[in-house]
Amino acid sequence: FKTTNIVSIPFVNTTFNDFMRTLEARINDHKNTFVVTANPEIVVYADHHPQYQKILKSATYVVPDGIGIIKGAQMLNDPISERITGYDIFCRLLEWGNQNNKSAYFLGAKPEVVFDLRKILTVNYPNLNIVGMQDGYFKNETPIVSTIENHDIDMIFVATGFPFQEEFIEKYRNKNNGLWIGVGGSFDVLAG
Ligand code: UDP
């Protein structure tokens, strides 16, 4: 994709549909993929934390979540075609995953949110194979990583908030050749 740099972070500059087609093709091909859904808060944080900035630069794609990124690109005279939010990607992948019998792992949010999310997923996306769900307030990463490592998982959704979700993904993405994406508060939103 064409990219547009904002404070040295290269943002994907394409349409949502175009981006999703590429993402779906990569999932089908079991290509290891790391997507960061970044808003201005993340860009500012990365600017002050070199280690985190390095993680963002190591991602396969950074997408412009947040209208502030679109506005920033306009001011830099390098307009970005479309806003691509983590929540929209999340919902679209659940839909697509349900239609194509894909598997997914869900990590993050409070235990009661995970409980509600599981009910919603089973009712609305019955053909999606839920490999595991784990709330985001765990003490020990080992059993989580071991589950992820030992299953074929098409999509790993990490919703523990930034910067932790991206740090977690960067640390473990080599354990599974699926799609890894940090989706912030998306579990809370879908669980209502
Ligand atoms: N969260 C979590 N573990 C933590 C801290 C937060 O799972 O240790 C979850 C929290 O319950 C919420 C999400 O992470 O569901 C953070 O959502 P937010 O919209 O704040 O995302 P951010 O903008 O921080 O990426």
Give this complex's ipTM.
Answer: 0.95
Whether 66 is in the pocket of ligand 1, judged by its Cβ within 6 Å, is no
Token pair for 110:
């409070």
- pLDDT at 106 (0 to 100): 98
Cα–Cα distance measured from residue 126 to residue 122, given in angstroms and rounded to the nearest whole number? 5
Q: pLDDT by residue (tens digit) across 161-190?
A: 999 999 999 999 999 999 999 999 999 999
Percent share of the chain, pLDDT over 70: 100
3-class SS of residue 37? strand
- pLDDT at 140 (0 to 100): 97
- pLDDT at 25 (0 to 100): 98
Tell how strand 9-12 and strand 3-6 pair up: antiparallel
- pLDDT at 89 (0 to 100): 98
| Residue to probe by mutation, ligand 1, list 52, 137, 160, most atoms within 8 Å of CB | 160
- Amino acid symbol at 160: T
- pLDDT at 73 (0 to 100): 95
Cα–Cα distance measured from residue 180 to residue 104, given in angstroms and rounded to the nearest whole number? 10
Residue nearest to atom 11 of ligand 1 (CA): 109
Q: What angle (nearest 5°) sits at the alpha carbon of residue 34, between those of residues 181 and 108?
A: 25
Average pLDDT, the chain: 97
**Which ligand 1 atom sits closest to the C-alpha of 110?**
11
Whether 187 is in the pocket of ligand 1, judged by its Cβ within 6 Å, is yes
**Which ligand 1 atom sits closest to the C-alpha of 39?**
23
Whether 107 is in the pocket of ligand 1, judged by its Cβ within 6 Å, is no
- 141: confidence class by pLDDT, cuts 50, 70, 90: very high
Query: What is the CA(76)–ligand 1 centre distance, in A?
Result: 30
Query: What is the CA(79)–ligand 1 centre distance, in A?
Result: 30
- pLDDT at 3 (0 to 100): 96
- pLDDT at 75 (0 to 100): 94
- 91: confidence class by pLDDT, cuts 50, 70, 90: very high
State how many domains the chain has: 1
* pTM (2 d.p.): 0.97
**Which residue range forms the structural domain that includes residue 138?**
3-191
Whether 137 is in the pocket of ligand 1, judged by its Cβ within 6 Å, is yes
Q: pLDDT by residue (tens digit) across 52-78?
A: 999 999 999 999 999 999 999 999 999
Q: What is the CA radius of gyration of the chain?
A: 16
Residues 6+ apart with CB under 8 A from 49: 163
Whether 40 is in the pocket of ligand 1, judged by its Cβ within 6 Å, is no
| Residue to probe by mutation, ligand 1, list 52, 188, 190, most atoms within 8 Å of CB | 188
Cα–Cα distance measured from residue 144 to residue 164, given in angstroms and rounded to the nearest whole number? 15
Which H or E element spans position 5? strand 3-6
Residue nearest to atom 10 of ligand 1 (CA): 109
